[in-house]
Structure 1
């Protein structure tokens, strides 16, 4: 039975306060008038809340210069509200198979400081913790701003509520690792764990293209393939934070055994190694392809060549997208979602991945005949999970499930 909770005037005041702070943070410059229009709150209420936020050094005012104004009409210059440069920040951490990134960011999702650690192996759990704590301590020394919390976005599978990294395939033997409790003990700050693709989805919802889209799937292409789901304007995290493990859904029930225990998983087919083999096998037929000059082409090499209309690269990408679309069709048909946001690293502008996936989905999704399918490139490229580590804590602060340190 669902519990009902009442509210009092103080609850309403706090909700309104966080709503105003969220609009200021996520719009990165907004006027009092616009806040009143967007919230339906009275100008007096907005004025009182903003005054409090300014007094607490959470928000500050910025007067637009003449050339920043939308019009050249004479009169009072608009005053925009932005986060204070002394407002609290958040430490975000992103764990990949060969890279850890540690950042400080503010409630607007802006990265203020960043440290990267590359590695090819991890001796044990302690080596991972030492890396993360070293990065945290270095960044902490660089700021005078209070740090509200730490958020760890990681490859999965995870048990997010328990703060445990379970058993990610090919992750140096790390499993059943209670990373959150250890980080909290070493830093004295609240810490949280979230699947990397779910973090990417939340970054898009809070700060990116998904702001005004109530339902969408975020597809993240990194070392593996993950998906994050936003349903009815909220991140769907599942019972234990394992939602969106699309890379470990089967696209071939008679396929090879995956490290996860399943057979024919998407990750076994849609990966850079398979793309390299495809390129090597076909390279004699495309001697002019720039990929022939690269001994071991990376994901970015292949994507950039494909966006430059290289035929060999396009063939490899086409096969990759075919495998991805098999898994996406099952997911999108099940949930009836018509918007897909795709995040990945690339050096050049181009949307060949999105164009190919959209073409394949438009011919196979049940809803394609009566609903427009949107496949959009993430405005964060491949950085959405990193920014999402900030968004995960920010969302808790805005929803009053985590106090904002001052």
Structure 2
């Protein structure tokens, strides 16, 4: 009989609570918008309320573990949010303890991109693949990797910050403070910025000229490209080139057999993946090797907080065995 896991995804735009089983099946889900000034006490209160609500919705009051994924820098061993870029007042926040006390089970914490990488290893395309990279293309760009069957964490638990490699010297300023990071150019916010900066091209575009600047996002750009807008096509082609450069950089360093791409921009489907595969193959030059590029699980962020405790439990079982 599968045990149920309570999972939380604390992100920049929404907070979700899910109930899932060890097989990765999501039984119930509730979501709330993220309030930037929520603070520690009110966030915990909201998560507790959402936890009880989703358990009631699932018809289950019995969970064996709690998984929490967070969009920020975390200390997963101590269960502490170290840096919170999206919700104010959460730096150095011991988030797991009050939830563990409330629900009476162990709670584990993981960075959201690392958790999505783990989810691909446990339930997705990364099963039985010892060397793969996961990239999440959303507002920003994050990721993670398994190398020789082990999750790559690094000396400070910060490995996998794929979006913060510089690929354009003296390029636009990134949120990290450096210039020309992959995230600043090819992340969702970077794509929207590149459109908005070219005022003359926006005015000349029949489609973009009818949209308010704050309504332009990556989804809009790919949608307009499909409709034949030449400016959107240029932006998409540039984005794919920058992503290809970044992916080949990663492949040259880690030599994975698989690159899994998730996040909202992956929803562009063939409009993204077909030209991206071709651009990556071309960018390899004489360093070419066989690497598959596949789409991540569509519900990866729902499954990620379930996958983390399942994965950690599997590691413990191996260690004790």
Same fold flag (TM > 0.5): yes
CA shift for structure 1 position 127:
2.6
CA shift for structure 1 position 348:
6.6
Pair 1:197-2:116 in alignment: no
CA shift for structure 1 position 140:
2.5
1:327 corresponds to: 246
Answer yes or no: is the 8 Å Cα contact 2:71–2:86 preserved in 1: no
**TM-score under structure 2 normalisation?**
0.85
For the residue of structure 1 that corresponds to 2:30, the secondary structure is strand
Identify which of 211, 227, 247 aligns with 1:294: 211
2:291 corresponds to: 373
**Residues 162 and 303 (structure 1 numbering): CA distance in 2 closer, same or farther, change over 3 Å?**
farther
Larger Rg: 1
Alignment of 1:5-404 (within 5 A): 58=1, 87-142=2-57, 143-144=59-60, 146-252=62-168, 254-255=170-171, 258-280=174-196, 281=198, 282-287=201-206, 289=207, 291-295=208-212, 296-307=215-226, 310-345=229-264, 350-365=269-284, 368-369=287-288, 371-378=289-296, 380-381=297-298, 383-401=299-317
For the residue of structure 2 that corresponds to 1:116, the secondary structure is strand
**Residues 350 and 257 (structure 1 numbering): CA distance in 2 closer, same or farther, change over 3 Å?**
closer
Answer yes or no: is the 8 Å Cα contact 1:362–1:368 preserved in 2: no
Answer yes or no: is the 8 Å Cα contact 1:361–1:368 preserved in 2: no
Measured against aligned partners, the alpha-carbon deviations of 1:293-330 in whole angstroms (never above 9, x if no partner) come to 43212333333344555433332222233333333333
**Residues 395 and 277 (structure 1 numbering): CA distance in 2 closer, same or farther, change over 3 Å?**
closer
Measured against aligned partners, the alpha-carbon deviations of 1:51-79 in whole angstroms (never above 9, x if no partner) come to xxxxxxx1xxxxxxxxxxxxxxxxxxxxx
Answer yes or no: is the 8 Å Cα contact 1:198–1:385 preserved in 2: no
Answer yes or no: is the 8 Å Cα contact 2:244–2:279 preserved in 1: yes
CA shift for structure 1 position 231:
2.1
CA RMSD of aligned residues (A): 2.7
Measured against aligned partners, the alpha-carbon deviations of 1:127-171 in whole angstroms (never above 9, x if no partner) come to 322221111111233333621111111112222212121224354
- The size of the alignment, in residue pairs, is 312
CA shift for structure 1 position 276:
2.8
For the residue of structure 1 that corresponds to 2:163, the secondary structure is helix
**TM-score under structure 1 normalisation?**
0.69
**Residues 359 and 94 (structure 1 numbering): CA distance in 2 closer, same or farther, change over 3 Å?**
same
Answer yes or no: is the 8 Å Cα contact 2:188–2:265 preserved in 1: no
For the residue of structure 1 that corresponds to 2:279, the secondary structure is helix
CA shift for structure 1 position 250:
2.8
**Residues 349 and 123 (structure 1 numbering): CA distance in 2 closer, same or farther, change over 3 Å?**
closer
Answer yes or no: is the 8 Å Cα contact 2:4–2:62 preserved in 1: yes
- Aligned mates of 1:124, 1:401 — CA distance in 2: 37
Where in structure 1 are there 5+ consecutive unaligned residues? 1-57, 59-86
**Residues 262 and 298 (structure 1 numbering): CA distance in 2 closer, same or farther, change over 3 Å?**
closer
**Residues 347 and 292 (structure 1 numbering): CA distance in 2 closer, same or farther, change over 3 Å?**
farther
For the residue of structure 1 that corresponds to 2:249, the secondary structure is helix
